[in-house]
């Protein structure tokens, strides 16, 4: 009996697909926020993303060692603006991401790539 495991991802190019997927959570830089709360623009892997829609927002609180870990979580739809500084209107649709803010350290992370355009 032979077991064959396929390693194809999406367009069939394994290296390109794997290189763009985050492994666990990755630190991102939050460049600006709307109303001091919602993400507006962030940088991940030297690429700037413009948030044009927040699909979902929630909070989590977990016990970690002797303290609690509090997070603000967001599911956002983004467009990549590239290095040219293009605006949201003419930017290319990039996808949907789940990001969160660690409230204790005020750091932002990309948790999951939900979909890519």
Q: Compute, in degrees rounded to 10, the torsion defined by CA atoms 65, 111, 27, 69.
A: -20
Under DSSP, is residue 15 helix (H, G, I), strand (E, B) or coil? helix
CA–CA distance, 18 with 9 (Å, rounded to integer): 8
- Domains of the chain by residue range: 25-116
Q: Do residues 57 and 74 make contact, with C-beta atoms less than 8 angstroms apart? A: yes
Reading the chain (117 residues) residue by residue, the pLDDT tens digits are 444 444 444 454 444 444 455 567 899 999 999 998 999 999 988 888 999 999 999 999 887 777 777 999 999 999 766 554 444 455 555 889 999 999 989 999 999 988 876
Q: How far is CA 107 from CA 1, 11, 21, in A?
A: 50, 33, 20
pTM: 0.67
């Amino acid at each position: 009996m032979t077991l064959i495991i396929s390693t194809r991802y999406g367009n069939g190019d394994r290296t390109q697909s794997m290189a763009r997927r985050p492994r666990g959570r990755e630190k991102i830089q939050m460049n600006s926020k709307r109303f001091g709360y919602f993400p507006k623009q962030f940088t991940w892997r030297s690429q700037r993303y413009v948030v044009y829609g927040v699909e979902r927002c929630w909070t989590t609180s977990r016990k970690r060692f002797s303290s609690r870990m509090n997070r603000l979580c967001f599911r956002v739809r983004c467009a990549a603006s590239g290095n040219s500084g293009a605006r949201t209107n003419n930017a290319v649709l990039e996808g949907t991401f789940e990001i969160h803010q660690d409230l204790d350290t005020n750091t932002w992370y990309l948790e999951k790539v939900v979909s890519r355009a």
